[in-house]
Structure 1
Amino acid sequence: MKPDLRKALDTQVLVGDGAMGTFLYQMGFPVGISYEELNLVSPEVIRDVHRRYIEAGAQILETNTFSANFDKLSKYGLETQVNEINRAGVRIAREAAGENGYVVGAIGSIRGGKRTNVSTTELKKFFEQQLQAILNEGVDGILLETFYDVEELALALSITRRLTDSPVICQFAVEDVARTLDGYTMPEAFRIMQQEGADVIGFNCRTGPNGIMSAVKTLEGHLPAPMSIYPNAGVADYVDGEYHYGAGPEYFGQMAVKFADLGSRIIGGCCGTTPAHIAAIAGALENYTPQHFVYEPIPEQTAPLVIHEHLQQDEDSPVDREPNLVDLVKQRHTVIVELDPPRDLDIAKFMQGAERLKQAGADALTLADNSLAVTRMSNMALGHLVQAETGLRPLVHIACRDRNLIGTQSHMMGFDALGINHVLAVTGDPAKFGDLPGSSSVYDLTSFEIIRMIKQLNEGIAFSGKPLKQKAKFVVGAAFNPHGKHLHKAVARLERKIAAGADYIMTQPVYDPELIRAVGEATSHLDIPIFMGIMPLASGRNAEYLHNEVPGIQLSDDVRGRMAGLEGEEGRAMGVQIAKELLDVAMDHFNGIYLMTPFMLYEMSAQLIEHVWARSGRQLSPLFR
């Protein structure tokens, strides 16, 4: 009779199995189906894969249940079969493992590194449902694998510990620099998992043996528990319509001994590995005698990865000479003006507007990121031109809608290279409401998370957790919509953005003096500046459109009445007059003013800037005249 899994790990290195999904793909099963459903419809196929790994020398089999949770199965209409698929997966693995093999119930990350697509409440429910099914069928342990961040893995582990005292293996998916996506170094992450009750802690997926070796070395020999290692067979290459992995079996055998020397007690393979890879691991470890390791908690003072200091910008850089907007607004009234990038290739009028607003004394020009999901010129390109040709500070919006994690980080790196360091993080209106309704809305990140991730770049850490050679200097703003029935709830949401790292706030346009006062009172406890949004109305039709059709904007009955029926110069004059009255109230409560320019009518915004300076008594230098 085989010993308990925990006892077995005290005296030997156990050989795990290899990939299931990519092996099924190599067998001809296409991408786009649920491989877990095969537990029910083609159990003989899954049993055969397990059998091949056992014959190759695997001593531990993972159940074919990695994505067999409610959320993942719902994409195939299989969400009602969570129990059946998981229990079948355990039975099939048990049949293949026989009396001497160990079976661990495989449970994968649900969020998959996004951390936004499933709520914490749903996570708890989905993990518990899958765990119950696996445990009811009986396994030798639980394998929580391919987790990208500490938060989700800790949650899954806590639920597992509540349901069973069986051995639990926890595995992170990290790059070779060994940081989780939520910024933890591996010593920190391992310490947390050990404290939460993990029996084995390790790595799988995302990188090959060399990358995982680099991650292991960051632990510097401090192991709070035995390790498990399941690398990919290198990086996948897409050739002639098929995926290929380059790391061969012989290489895996060589690396297996090195992993064992560093304290690994379970060694298998992940994506791209085959029975041949497992046979090589088993052969290399056949006569291996493991060292005796003393497993101790990792001290909390373990040093994180060293991040290089940001390279200093040129001494003549106007961005470095001037205080950032957060510092500036603490000293005096500060005016940000929004000017929409053009929907055409002609930028002449836009640049004329930027120059006029600079002359009026704007402190920054803010450029939206395809607002209302309408395609406009890149605010990166225009921000650079504004900065280079007018000297006016650009403040660019970053929408979660249009870019995935890769594109967002790439975009931010580009801004840093151009010296554009003031940004506003926004969710972005859904693409289906814009001028290209067939395009996709990405939303890899929420506005809360994009703030946190941008601030992570300021620490010299990439979105992946990889250290960067220098730190960014982003000053990150967040949007605030004060309209709605419950202002206190809007403020509570705002506090979450501040907790995520927001440095300043920009509000939606407000047209009610009483609401301006209410916002001032409701946010008086906040310690970051708020830029109150004011947008002059251009006509009566413009007023009705904003009130009735644009999300997040509400006009008071008084304003709508005063604008009713007015067009042309008459409408613009009334719009400016109303905006001046609102500014008078806003300036009593806020140092930050955020003006939005309608329809490229930048003379309206220029008049309002000049009104702010006249009221505050600020004298512009000749440079602005």
Structure 2
Amino acid sequence: MIDLAATLAHRPVVLDGGLGTLLEARGNDVASDLWSARVLRDDPDEVRAAHAVFADAGAEVVITASYQLGFGGQIPDAELEALLRRSVSLAREAADVVVAASVGPIGALRADGSEYTGDYGLGVDQLRRLHRRRLHVLADAGADLLAVETIPSPLEVEALALELADIGVPAFVSVSADSTGFVAPGSRADALRAAASVPAVLAVGVNCCAPETVSAALAEAPGVPLVAYPNTGERWDAATRTWHGAPAPLAAAVPQWVDAGVRLVGGCCRSTPADIAAIAAALR
């Protein structure tokens, strides 16, 4: 396993791809509100196997199946803590890679579309409390770093940055470049700058967005290592829970992203092991 912080200083590192996409392709049902966490709960061997497939494709960092798990959601707290810990242990068992524990936005726990807007009606202190226990459990479970991802608003970034500063565990923070929560001029840049100011944060950037939005979003980012793992170009309809459009080859844009300072690069929704293999080849 690589020393992530040291490696980022010298070369880009390959993230994995769409875990839910791969689980679905392997015949698993990810249509419920729990998404890949349903498989984590009911068929953990499948999650372990999917992590291994991405590692074999060239991923040096795998992101756990904990994105839609949080306290106060659909699963009782005692069971939830066990699942959070399981998500880390399965990734650890799958391959000798860096394990990044996924921390999704509060909207992902609600499964009501608010993960695309950040419009929760909550303040910073409330958001901190809602995220706190999950962050501590995942850190205590032995994750190498926390993958704070798809955050849709400056307010939630601020809350998470404050919590990460208290915990002191390595992390990256990635916002959704397509979220309507960042419509104010400079709001995304300010949010990324706030996250980057936390000493434990190794990289900041964007994910779960259209590939063509990455470069413009990263142009606003502070001068720290950047992370980029977009979707493959299809459009998600939250009302019908279906994808529309044609996929784009992510690897084609990798040299441009690396030139912009990206040091963690992979794929999000709809990206496959083949996409990750192509990204790894492009980096080589």
TM-score, normalisation: structure 1: 0.41
Q: Tell me which residue corresponds to 1:556.
A: none
Does 2:216 correspond to 1:214? yes
CA contact (8 A) 2:16 2:266 kept: yes
Q: Tell me which residue corresponds to 1:106.
A: 102
Question: Aligned partners of 1:49, 1:38: CA distance in 2, in Å?
Answer: 11
Aligned length: 271
Q: For the structure 1 residues 182 and 109, does the alpha-carbon distance in structure 2 shift closer, same or farther, using more than 3 Å as the test?
A: farther
Q: For the structure 1 residues 182 and 218, does the alpha-carbon distance in structure 2 shift closer, same or farther, using more than 3 Å as the test?
A: closer
CA contact (8 A) 1:15 1:59 kept: yes
Does 2:160 correspond to 1:156? yes
Query: How far apart are 1:259 and its partner, in Å?
Result: 0.7
Does 2:284 correspond to 1:283? no
Question: Aligned partners of 2:227, 2:262: CA distance in 1, in Å?
Answer: 5
Q: Tell me which residue corresponds to 2:69.
A: 68
Partner of residue 137 from structure 1, selected from 131, 138, 141: 141
Question: Aligned partners of 2:230, 2:154: CA distance in 1, in Å?
Answer: 19
Question: Aligned partners of 1:14, 1:234: CA distance in 2, in Å?
Answer: 22
Q: Tell me which residue corresponds to 2:82.
A: 84
Q: For the structure 1 residues 155 and 218, does the alpha-carbon distance in structure 2 shift closer, same or farther, using more than 3 Å as the test?
A: closer
Q: Percent identity?
A: 24
Amino acid of the structure 2 residue aligned with 1:150: P
CA contact (8 A) 1:37 1:85 kept: no
Question: Aligned partners of 2:245, 2:94: CA distance in 1, in Å?
Answer: 26
Query: How far apart are 1:122 and its partner, in Å?
Result: 4.2
**What's the CA shift string for 1:96-118, capped at 9, x where partnerless?**
122xx111111011142333255
Does 2:175 correspond to 1:175? no
Q: Tell me which residue corresponds to 2:110.
A: none
Alignment of 1:513-528 (within 5 A): none
SS at match of 2:101: strand
CA contact (8 A) 1:150 1:182 kept: no
Alignment of 1:376-415 (within 5 A): none
Alignment of 1:146-545 (within 5 A): 146-164=150-168, 166-175=169-178, 180-181=182-183, 184-197=186-199, 198-205=201-208, 207-219=209-221, 223-236=222-235, 243=243, 246-248=246-248, 251-286=249-284
**What's the CA shift string for 1:102-157, capped at 9, x where partnerless?**
11111011142333255544432331111121111111111110011111112112
Amino acid of the structure 1 residue aligned with 2:56: E
Question: Aligned partners of 1:237, 1:116: CA distance in 2, in Å?
Answer: 20
Query: How far apart are 1:23 and its partner, in Å?
Result: 3.1
SS at match of 2:197: helix
- What runs of 5+ residues in structure 2 fail to find an aligned partner? 108-114
CA contact (8 A) 1:103 1:140 kept: yes
Q: For the structure 1 residues 156 and 6, does the alpha-carbon distance in structure 2 shift closer, same or farther, using more than 3 Å as the test?
A: same
CA contact (8 A) 2:158 2:191 kept: no
Whose radius of gyration is greater, 1 or 2?
A: 1
Q: For the structure 1 residues 85 and 118, does the alpha-carbon distance in structure 2 shift closer, same or farther, using more than 3 Å as the test?
A: farther
CA contact (8 A) 1:82 1:130 kept: no
Does 2:46 correspond to 1:50? no
- What runs of 5+ residues in structure 1 fail to find an aligned partner? 287-625
SS at match of 2:182: coil
- With 76-85 and 16-25 compared, the bigger mean Cα shift is at 76-85
TM-score, normalisation: structure 2: 0.86
Q: For the structure 1 residues 79 and 115, does the alpha-carbon distance in structure 2 shift closer, same or farther, using more than 3 Å as the test?
A: farther
SS at match of 1:196: coil
CA contact (8 A) 1:146 1:172 kept: yes
CA contact (8 A) 1:154 1:196 kept: no
Question: Aligned partners of 2:245, 2:98: CA distance in 1, in Å?
Answer: 27
Q: For the structure 1 residues 244 and 8, does the alpha-carbon distance in structure 2 shift closer, same or farther, using more than 3 Å as the test?
A: same
Question: Aligned partners of 2:30, 2:104: CA distance in 1, in Å?
Answer: 20
Question: Aligned partners of 2:42, 2:207: CA distance in 1, in Å?
Answer: 28
**What's the CA shift string for 1:273-296, capped at 9, x where partnerless?**
11111111011112xxxxxxxxxx
Q: For the structure 1 residues 208 and 152, does the alpha-carbon distance in structure 2 shift closer, same or farther, using more than 3 Å as the test?
A: same
Q: Tell me which residue corresponds to 1:10.
A: 9
Query: How far apart are 1:257 and its partner, in Å?
Result: 1.6
Question: Aligned partners of 2:216, 2:181: CA distance in 1, in Å?
Answer: 11
RMSD: 2.5
Amino acid of the structure 2 residue aligned with 1:129: R
**What's the CA shift string for 1:81-104, capped at 9, x where partnerless?**
221111000000011122xx1111
